[in-house]
Amino acid sequence: MKVLVTGAAGFIGSHVCEALLKRGDTVLGVDCINDYYDVKQKENNLLILKHENFSFSHSDICDKNAMEQCFADFAPDAVIHLAARAGVRPSLSEPELYYQVNVLGTLCLLECARTHKVMRFIFGSSSSVYGSRDGGKFSEADRVDTPISPYAATKKAGEELCHVYHQLHGMHVTCLRFFTVYGPRGRPDMAPFKFTKAILDGEPIIRYGDGSTARDYTYVGDIVQGVLASLDADLPYEILNLGNDSPVTLNTFIATIERATGKKAIINEEPMQQGDVPYTCADISKAKKLLNYAPTTGLEDGLRAFVEWYQQH
């Protein structure tokens, strides 16, 4: 299969490309390699993808001409759209940028897919669309019309656009709501990277709140398994949670990194931040049923793998 993957130089995107190549697919990676974090890390991700079946376009998904050229030259069978401006907190100060990339960029890709008759489209969404909740499992059947950050709102808008293109043009679209993905090659702005770096350097970490907030941390290898399964399933239109179904508190998360690094954290507590949600927990029963999705990596093993990668790089 010929697959166009946006965000190919990023964290999840590079892992997805690597898995596609390993199983024999042909991949065109698209990424603008912006400076949201150190571009060297993205360039290193691309080095891992050197393969006879991999080609790369240094392009912006908002550039209609560039995207049209990618579709025309590569003629993909499917699109896995993972490119986005990431992060809840930065979206509070740059909402226009997040709208431009996450909404208009997604629309550009859907239009290119329609024009070039690419009928299989996977969209990387986020658990952020569920808004602020205190407990229970987050189900795809829940209402998600109360986002609390521009980032969350753009991801919900992307899902709506995907539904429009399914409804109007018969495009097969699966929207995957990722729950706090971590693992090797993780982004420097995310807690696993920031906490690991600070602990190893003997610097304090910032804990927002008392540490009782909980997240459904999901290992990147499990996410990749779900992405590829959704590609192969070729469902007409679905929204699916990809999580670990096992939320842990921030204090437990920090203690797990301490064990993985062999060092104690110095903790500075600050108030909870705007846009942050107190709790996430994925109901993955639908993904299990439709994709045979079954996460296999627990937090202890996953963070140990991340710390090993961090120390090597």
Task: List, for the chain, all residue ranges whose pLDDT scores fall below the cut of 70.
Answer: none
HEC secondary structure over the chain: CEEEEECCCCHHHHHHHHHHHHCCCEEEEECCCCCCCCHHHHHHHHHHCCCCCEEEECCCCCCHHHHHHHHHHHCCCEEEECCCCCCHHHHHHCHHHHHHHHHHHHHHHHHHHHHCCCCEEEEEEEHHHHCCCCCCCECCCCCCCCCCCHHHHHHHHHHHHHHHHHHHHCCEEEEEEECCEECCCCCCCCHHHHHHHHHHHCCEEEEECCCCCEECCEEHHHHHHHHHHHHHHCCCEEEEEECCCCCEEHHHHHHHHHHHHCCCCEEEEECCCCCCCCECCECCHHHHHHHCCCCCCCHHHHHHHHHHHHHHC
For residue 303, what pLDDT is reported? Answer: 97
Structural domain contains residue 12: yes
Whether 190 is covered by a domain: the verdict is no
Q: Which CA distances in Å does 188 have to 9, 80, 173?
A: 14, 23, 30
Q: Give the residue among 100, 96, 102, 66 at the shortest CA–CA distance from 82.
A: 102
Question: Which amino acid, residue 257?
Answer: I
| Catalytic residue check, 217 | no
Q: Is residue 226 part of a domain?
A: yes
Q: Does the residue 27 lie in any domain? A: yes
Model pLDDT, residue 300: 97
Q: Which residues of 235-265 are buried (b: 16+ CB within 10 A; e: fewer)?
A: bebbbbbbbbbebbebbebbebbeebbeeeb
Residue tagged active-site, from 37, 98, 130, 151: 151
Please state the domain count of the chain. 1
Residue 81 has a CB neighbour count (10 Å cut-off) of: 26
Residue tagged 């699916």 (tokens): 240
Q: Quick check: is 87 in a domain?
A: yes
Is residue 115 a part of any domain in this protein? yes
Confirm whether 191 is domain-assigned: no
Domain that holds residue 56: 2-182+219-244+282-296
CATH number for 228: 3.40.50.720
pLDDT tens, position by position, 173-193: 999 999 999 999 999 999 999
Q: What integer pLDDT is reported at residue 240 of this predicted model? A: 98
Question: CA-CA distance, 154 to 99, in Å (whole number)?
Answer: 6
Determine, yes or no, domain membership for 13.
yes
